[in-house]
Structure 1
């Protein structure tokens, strides 16, 4: 199904992949092209640098780069987008940093806190704030239930050759010729202030498609097959995935969108596809023909790796808990269900690290086959027109049953909903017993359709991390999600929840024509770009709080290790849970109470205890505080013998107290900045890791003034919970560009030397850390 070429390769005329092509002469290459039915090259000599620049990705990056240094890009984007669990904090940060008006189209959607179900009025207060900000600063405001963030951007903002930055990790519009990147909120703040997005020039990996999907296979099947092949060894981590090859034209645009949005789960930086007449027609249907241009690689293009996908061989897939890369074919699972599910149970219980809960799947076997409790088709990946139309075709004149299994469908936008009503697909779904809901991302992050305790939900959604479906382990609840394509979810539904592949049922898959009507947007969406009303006031609710003041980086740091996580990967959902906590994301103090609550419930109390000492230390600097506890702490930790009074005061003055977490590989998952900012609100000064799972999480750590340390794997055993780490002269080391610093771990075993690495920190990164956070940095410039 999927093969990896792990070294550089050339794509010739968009059809032929050749490794080590620079060692072959043009005549030989042309012979191979002619044999493949492709016209010969016009090139006389192949030059790798020129071929690199010929990829679609590098053409677009070059157009948006403001730096003269091609190796270190400074990008400006054509549009921005955020939803209602990120835009309040972004706008407040931008205001504190000097925001005048939105310089590019900035779309504020309301598809996460849509239900207003937690915290009283606070969700709708956030929405009112968003509309007032769009009016004041000249933005675009999409009210709740109108569209999920990425569907609106596809329909109304994406365009060939453009770049879009969003504060949601699934910001991906590559199938429409747009390079899109999901990042933490501070990166959007930089764009709102006219600054740039700085990133080393990424490698580009070709996703070479050939063949055509068989009946019953959908976009999620293709996406899961790719994720399963590339995730574990980071094959495309922080790279651009460029979809090329003859198989592209065999896919509809909706099908391409469904694959593309899932590229986030590979940990790639962005994605882009070659475009054709199908994309051209998509833009015409959506009333924006000017947004189309033909994008294709040059006749000789160089890629840093290749993922070859034979679409003919893709079969229905399932990603079992607790990651989209935990992939099996449905047929394989049905053949070996007991063994596979037992293996997943063992790995899952290790990941949960909660002895009070027992994650079970084998108890769901019925005559050797898996019985599931719930099906959901939702959001930017599942709620597209063609996916839901396919579900309707499979369910036509059938029943989802009146037993335990339930099926919910969420169209991704009101225009999609309207067309599904017009062609009677909705009627078929409703008659079959399907529950129809509005455009809402809730089930993707645990705020809607939470399954029963011990339940298993199959979902055409984006993620299946632990507790992301809404369960709460602290309350003794556990449930789980497996990812599948909408077609196989529908096939399972007509079998009462018994896991079934869509290739095992008969149905008509005649293409259903789509007509787009934007009237609902015209009547309801606020279009204010380039029309700011600066005289208007922002509207605040009682749930919205400003960011706390954050101190600059001190000369030295004394950090207590308040959490140690040895999982292979730590997700942002584990750092700050999703679900009901999203209602508090406009109040950094209340949200911080949930930090690591599902992974390490003791974290918040420990971090607060360290923070209390730091507050006392800062008061001592103005001779206002009680000094005994602070002095005792420094004496106990940093000296076997008593320090002189003068030395002690000097040390206290120059040394900040803070907390630090250690994780092997933190930050897989969401782009939301709160995974880092909540640590900062509680006095966190750093993360220590072997590596960071994604650029976006590492950027969030930096933008909130925390130091993204890394260590050598051999030093893991040196770091134990409740130890202290003393880092002398850290401010000077950051300032002078040091790439490693000498630190000391202090615990009951004594004082142990530890090398901390400061890898790949740009000058602006260092300046932000020195200032204490991005807000401080802009306030001082």
Structure 2
């Protein structure tokens, strides 16, 4: 079904794979002659290399400085981004910046806060020359597909699922500060990423949808890090067997592999997509050159992939639906054991065995929504499966969210909305809520199947710390519809006799033409920005001192810690424009005592900043500092920055949200210590908020409550040291070594200045 090559590969003429092993040179010579291409030259022949080269401003393809063509954000990220950019000197948007409203669009929590954010966005689009997409018009990524994507271009978005590779656009999801840099005409700095080929062959079976293909790939590559921070480049003859909507459905889920970005070979079907959307001139035919080298290859025979299910609590926890149904209790045992690690709460008794009724797994909820599930073809195929059937009047419910108003309108025109509603399903407007816990929150102990992007703990909106637990399994819209047709009993779409009608899609741009504000390139300098009471400026942050004293305030030993656990989604979204208000929720579903402990440390640091002696105010810190002073008599407490630090094994999987780092920072966080960082974007978020991303790969010698003293940290960062000596403060100093890792010159300066805002203020 899926094969991962152990080595890099050469791809000849887009069809022939030659693994880079001892025989490769001879094989290449036999096919190409004596002038056989070198690995270094062939690596420049990928689609990804060509796009990155065209956007690189450094002149050095090993050290990229990328300038993007467009930026995109939604309503729980654009306020903080624009506020940061304003504080750093923003005068106008230098490139097209599109502000969409698909996360807090319900305006249901927090009084006026959400709509205040929207009005802030509209007023900023006017003042700085941007585009504003009102609530309920489109999910951010669907709007980007319909309006923004262009072949050969690059888009940077402040949402992790920024993926438009199937349309020939290399798109990257990052935390807000990386967009701030682009708004200030700076660059996105990164080492040249590896490029892994994804060779698609065969034709998907009837009933198998794009989510099934995506989950199979995620299951094969997530745990082993095969594509971590690399670009996935989709090639192979199987692409011809996929509609563009289908390709998009696979592509958007590449985020869950922890890759950096994705790009696909394009063809006439992609050209037709652009033509349907009135933008045929934006198409560009992309393909690797005749001999291209990839750092790895994922070989996918789509004809062998069956309908899949990603069980709680990760998209990589995959089984075939047939396998699950045939081995229910054995697999549910496995799921429960994994859940104990993910939930990490002895008071929660998680089980799915109580969902087994008459030998079948019963589901209480189905959702088809968002950037992954809300596409036109997904909903049409689901409608065909449900035609003439009813979802029943028991616990099972089905909600469908078309990804944009144009998609919704066409589904109305061709009758599919009426057919869906007749089944008992409810149809909603474009909204991302079910994907991040702000819509269709299941009942306690309920089991939900969703064609969305993630199924982390709490991602569906339950609160473990309040004794609530629910769980989500990811599935394709077709098998969700098959389950709905069986009134909630888990069913593979392959088990349903259906005629897929495949109605043609007609795009109507009038909805956007009449509602979307487009001020790109037309800033109104005198326009007034509208501030609601929930929009609060960032608190001040100080420059890094020569030495620092850290207190470990949280210790997390889960194999992976998601950004949802660092700062929960759901109802917290209403506070994304209020740094201190949002910070109250930091680690609230993982370590509820964290905020209080961090505030105690911050209080001591605030005393220091007032130019008073901090140690006199706190007996615990005074004792620790006395031990340090014995070893370093010249050390001055007033000149030693005090902060908190968390330890996690592998933090940062999941969302690009910068708040996973900034909330720690405004509470006084100075660093993270980890064995490794799950994603490049989380590590970047730490750096941009002035926090040091330390690495310690062994069993930790310190624990929660310990003090860690780091001498000459500013010097180490300034001199590009890769590691620094640190000391655990006990009755005496216990030395150990922390790795700093590679940083760009700008990143080092940002940390020394205290944060990105300070860096740009100069």
TM-score range, shorter chain: over 0.9
Contact 2:604/2:614, CA 8 A, preserved across alignment: no
Residue of structure 1 equivalent to 2:713: 730
SS for the counterpart of 1:605 is helix
User: Is residue 78 of structure 1 aligned with residue 44 of structure 2?
Assistant: no
* CA displacement, residues 563-582 of structure 1 (integer Å, 9 cap, x when unaligned): 00000000000000000000
Residue of structure 1 equivalent to 2:616: 628
* CA displacement, residues 301-353 of structure 1 (integer Å, 9 cap, x when unaligned): 00000000001001000000000000000000001110111111122122212
User: Is residue 656 of structure 1 aligned with residue 638 of structure 2?
Assistant: no
CA–CA distance in structure 2, aligned partners of residues 478 and 246 of structure 1: 44
CA–CA distance in structure 1, aligned partners of residues 74 and 702 of structure 2: 38
- Going from structure 1 to structure 2, the CA distance change for 1:502 and 1:642 (only over 3 Å counts) comes to closer
CA–CA distance in structure 1, aligned partners of residues 229 and 614 of structure 2: 48
Aligned residue runs from structure 1 range 105-144, under 5 A:
105-144=96-135
Residue of structure 2 equivalent to 1:478: 469
Residue of structure 2 equivalent to 1:772: 754
- Going from structure 1 to structure 2, the CA distance change for 1:626 and 1:576 (only over 3 Å counts) comes to closer
CA–CA distance in structure 2, aligned partners of residues 144 and 357 of structure 1: 37
- Going from structure 1 to structure 2, the CA distance change for 1:653 and 1:242 (only over 3 Å counts) comes to same
Q: CA deviation at 1:25?
A: 4.8
Q: CA deviation at 1:68?
A: 1.5
* CA displacement, residues 436-480 of structure 1 (integer Å, 9 cap, x when unaligned): 000000000000000010001000000000010000112211101
Q: CA deviation at 1:152?
A: 0.1
SS for the counterpart of 2:127 is helix
Residue 162 of structure 1, aligned match among 153, 156, 164: 153
User: Is residue 318 of structure 1 aligned with residue 309 of structure 2?
Assistant: yes
Contact 2:615/2:625, CA 8 A, preserved across alignment: no
CA–CA distance in structure 1, aligned partners of residues 445 and 652 of structure 2: 27
Q: CA deviation at 1:642?
A: 7.8
* CA displacement, residues 277-310 of structure 1 (integer Å, 9 cap, x when unaligned): 0000000000001111110000000000000000
SS for the counterpart of 1:453 is coil
SS for the counterpart of 2:81 is helix
SS for the counterpart of 2:636 is helix
User: Is residue 12 of structure 1 aligned with residue 22 of structure 2?
Assistant: no
Residue 761 of structure 1, aligned match among 735, 743, 758: 743
CA–CA distance in structure 1, aligned partners of residues 478 and 506 of structure 2: 22
Q: CA deviation at 1:641?
A: 9.5
Residue of structure 2 equivalent to 1:37: none
Query: Could you tell me the TM-score, scaled by structure 2's length?
Result: 0.98
Residue of structure 2 equivalent to 1:576: 567
Contact 1:22/1:46, CA 8 A, preserved across alignment: no
Aligned residue runs from structure 1 range 164-313, under 5 A:
164-313=155-304
Residue of structure 1 equivalent to 2:26: 24
Q: CA deviation at 1:617?
A: 1.5
CA–CA distance in structure 2, aligned partners of residues 491 and 719 of structure 1: 52
Q: CA deviation at 1:22?
A: 4.5
Aligned residue runs from structure 1 range 324-363, under 5 A:
324-363=315-354
Contact 2:160/2:656, CA 8 A, preserved across alignment: yes
Residue of structure 2 equivalent to 1:443: 434
CA–CA distance in structure 2, aligned partners of residues 642 and 279 of structure 1: 67
Q: CA deviation at 1:639?
A: 3.1
What is the count of residue pairs matched by the alignment? Answer: 760
Aligned residue runs from structure 1 range 366-405, under 5 A:
366-405=357-396
Query: Could you tell me the TM-score, scaled by structure 1's length?
Result: 0.96
Q: CA deviation at 1:494?
A: 0.8
User: Is residue 459 of structure 1 aligned with residue 450 of structure 2?
Assistant: yes
Structure 1: runs of 5 or more not aligned: 30-40
- Going from structure 1 to structure 2, the CA distance change for 1:501 and 1:25 (only over 3 Å counts) comes to closer
CA–CA distance in structure 2, aligned partners of residues 474 and 180 of structure 1: 36
User: Is residue 420 of structure 1 aligned with residue 407 of structure 2?
Assistant: no
SS for the counterpart of 1:53 is helix
CA–CA distance in structure 2, aligned partners of residues 543 and 329 of structure 1: 46
* CA displacement, residues 645-703 of structure 1 (integer Å, 9 cap, x when unaligned): x957x521221110000000000000010000000000000000000000000000000
CA–CA distance in structure 2, aligned partners of residues 349 and 25 of structure 1: 50
Contact 2:676/2:697, CA 8 A, preserved across alignment: no
Tell me how large the CA RMSD over aligned residues is: 1.5
Structure 2: runs of 5 or more not aligned: none
Q: CA deviation at 1:179?
A: 0.2
- Going from structure 1 to structure 2, the CA distance change for 1:251 and 1:42 (only over 3 Å counts) comes to farther
Q: CA deviation at 1:555?
A: 1.1
Contact 2:553/2:705, CA 8 A, preserved across alignment: yes
Q: CA deviation at 1:23?
A: 1.2
Contact 2:29/2:35, CA 8 A, preserved across alignment: no
